[in-house]
């Protein structure tokens, strides 16, 4: 089998700035990018190329670190260094600032919607993770503040089907939270990385979680259910990908359609790993299937697989560009 | 930026500044490819940049306090990497992060974008070496710090050359 990563298009998304993050809408028709220029850009497809559909400015006073689409695709949330999270509502083909969530003491690093669309989570350099509830009147209320990390919280991600939340931190740990009696509690702390954990991604079934770190490794964790089905679950590291990344691994994306794992690295490369079909689920083996060593001219900050088109991958970089790639597997 | 009435290191050892390098004929020949190497770092970064960075507590440059030495500057032009180790004046220097940040900012502003810049504390020279190194290596926190106008002002103050 021959695999390759080919460049489809490079967009000068945030010129003279850094592009921090990209996010696909649920139908894979729009891509949102954000960056150090405090702006969010929405990209849409026109024939074979991607064009800028709208620019969302004036929502934030400082860097927009991450963006996330609601599961219905009608809302976009943006997390900013200005300590706020903006909710944008799609109206016809434009986006309007709809609400501003305040409360974190300093930089908001990440925002994520639960699969139901009724919950939103944010995390910050103030070491906390906040869970917000969205009611029928589209009002946001903070229901929990969890302080399980001892340092800056970098990333949060929801389980694909269950109301389970995972967070990654500068304290080198990953925490997994679940709701108990209207309160969110840390159910498991995943220790093993030896430096900052930058990002997380669940696999399609939600049985496994991938984490990537400043320690230049990617770890795969697998859930082992608790004895009674209640209480603490435990997550065991079943695989460590080491020796592939030359510098910090800033992001990881696990394709829900193909199972391929993509990484964004500080050595300017985008890499794609595939799981060896014959490998034991208790001890899975991943191999490097394809890589673009000079994917960008500076650090790659984010990789995101299209949710609807198998093999379509977007990446973004400190050079301000967004690149769309196609990952081929030829039999 | 003395931060208080008493100085942490009241009597620093002051080191002599090194002299200017003499240009050779090939240096001035525009046809000869001149990659950025250790000597270039010494010339460009050390003489013109680091020498101008001031210690936040003393009206002295980092070179005069031996915070930065040429042997602790490693550059690889082909791989676009620059590594710098700096030595805080005392093991409990509370200014270590600020000094490291100032060095990093000066290099970020002066070198082409392709360079990966790693600023570390000289091993064994500071009590919180690991924590300071981790913070300086975290580009997200560095980016956030540089959006903080009061901190940026302090950094810029450290980077303003004095008359020497």
Please report, in tens digits, the pLDDT of each residue of chain B (164 residues total): 334 446 677 676 666 665 555 566 666 666 666 666 666 665 655 555 566 677 777 777 777 777 877 778 888 988 999 999 999 888 888 889 988 998 899 889 888 999 999 999 999 999 999 999 999 999 999 999 999 999 999 888 877 765 54
Q: Which two tokens stand for residue A217?
A: 């490794």
The confidence score (pLDDT) of residue A18 equals: 97
Residues in chain A where the model's pLDDT stays below 50: none
Which one of B113, B134, B147 has the shortest CB-CB distance to A63?
Answer: B147
Alpha-carbon torsion (A104, A108, A114, A117), positive or negative: positive
Contact A154 B143 (CB under 8 A): no
Residue A291's beta-bridge partner residues?
A271
* Nearest of A289, A146, A286, A137 to residue A208 by alpha carbon: A286
Do B143 and A36 lie within an 8 Å CB cutoff? Answer: yes
Which among A272, A214, A218 has a CA at the least distance from the CA of A248? A214
Is A196 in contact with B134 (Cβ distance < 8 A)?
yes
Structural class in CATH, domain B38-159 = alpha beta
pTM of this prediction? 0.91
| Neighboring chain A residues of B113 at a CB cutoff of 8 Å | 297-298, 318-319
Cβ neighbours of A298 in B, within 8 Å: 113-114
How many angstroms away from the CA of A298 is the closest CA of chain B? 6
Residue for token pair 């931060």: B3
Q: What angle do CA A198, A204, A207 make, to 5 degrees?
A: 80
The helix (run of H) or strand (run of E) holding residue B11 is: none
Among the listed residues A109, A106, A110, A112, the one whose alpha carbon sits nearest the alpha carbon of residue A132: A112
Which chain B residue lies closest to A172 (C-alpha atoms)? B134
Give the residue from chain B lying closest to A297, CA to CA. B114
Residue in A closest to B133 by C-alpha: A195
Q: What is the pLDDT of residue B4?
A: 42
What residues of chain B lie within 8 A of the CB of A215, using their CB?
Answer: none
Cα A167 to Cα A103, B20, B112: the distances in Å are 18, 52, 35
Q: Do A62 and B139 touch (CB under 8 A)?
A: no
In this prediction, the answer to ipTM > 0.85 reads yes
- To the nearest whole Å, the CA of A62 is away from the closest chain B CA by 7
Closest CA–CA distance from residue A277 to any residue of chain B (Å): 36
Contacts of A14 in chain B (CB under 8 A): none
DSSP 8-state assignment for residue B108: H
Residue extents of the structural domains in chain B: 38-159
């Amino acid at each position: 089998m021959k695999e390759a990563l080919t460049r489809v298009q490079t967009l000068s998304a945030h010129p003279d700035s850094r592009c921090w993050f990209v996010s696909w809408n649920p139908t894979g028709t729009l891509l949102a990018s954000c960056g150090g220029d405090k702006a969010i850009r929405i990209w849409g497809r026109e024939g074979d190329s991607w064009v800028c559909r709208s620019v969302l400015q004036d929502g934030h006073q400082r860097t927009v670190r991450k963006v996330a689409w609601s599961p219905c695709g009608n809302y976009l949330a943006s997390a900013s260094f200005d300590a706020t999270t903006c909710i944008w509502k799609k109206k016809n083909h434009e986006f309007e600032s709809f609400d501003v969530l305040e409360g974190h003491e300093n930089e908001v690093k990440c925002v994520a919607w639960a699969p139901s669309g009724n919950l939103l989570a944010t995390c910050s350099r103030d070491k906390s993770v906040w869970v917000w509830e969205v009611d029928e009147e589209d009002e946001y209320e903070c229901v929990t503040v969890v302080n399980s990390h001892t340092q800056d919280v970098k990333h949060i991600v929801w389980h694909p089907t269950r109301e389970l939340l995972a967070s990654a931190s500068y304290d080198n740990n990953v925490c997994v939270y679940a709701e108990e009696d209207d309160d969110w509690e840390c159910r498991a702390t995943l220790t093993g990385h030896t430096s900052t954990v930058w990002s997380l991604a669940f696999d399609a079934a939600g049985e496994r979680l991938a984490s990537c770190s400043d320690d230049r490794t990617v770890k795969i964790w697998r859930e082992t259910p608790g004895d009674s089905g209640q209480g603490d679950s435990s997550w065991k590291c079943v695989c460590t990908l080491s020796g592939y990344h030359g510098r910090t691994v800033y992001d990881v994306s696990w394709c829900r359609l193909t199972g391929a794992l993509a990484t964004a690295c500080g050595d300017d490369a985008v890499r794609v790993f595939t799981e060896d079909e014959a490998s034991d689920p208790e001890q899975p083996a991943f191999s490097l299937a394809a890589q673009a060593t000079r994917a960008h001219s500076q650090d790659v900050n984010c990789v995101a697989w299209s949710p609807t088109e198998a093999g379509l991958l977007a990446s973004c970089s400190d050079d301000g560009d967004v690149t769309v790639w196609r990952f081929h597997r030829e039999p | 930026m003395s931060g208080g009435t008493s100085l942490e290191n009241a009597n620093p050892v002051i080191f002599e500044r090194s002299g200017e390098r003499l240009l050779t004929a090939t240096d001035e020949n525009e046809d000869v490819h001149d990659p950025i190497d250790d000597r270039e770092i010494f010339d460009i970064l050390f003489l013109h940049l680091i020498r101008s960075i001031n210690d936040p507590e003393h009206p002295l440059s980092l070179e005069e306090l031996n915070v930065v030495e040429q042997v602790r500057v490693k550059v690889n032009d082909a791989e676009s990497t620059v590594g710098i180790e700096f030595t805080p004046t005392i093991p409990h220097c509370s200014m270590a992060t600020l000094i490291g940040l100032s060095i990093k900012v000066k290099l970020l502003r002066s070198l082409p974008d392709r360079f990966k810049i790693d600023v570390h504390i000289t091993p064994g020279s500071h009590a919180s070496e690991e924590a300071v190194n981790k913070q300086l290596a975290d580009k997200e926190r560095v980016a956030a710090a540089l959006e903080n106008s009061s901190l940026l002002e302090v950094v810029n103050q450290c980077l303003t050359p004095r008359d020497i």
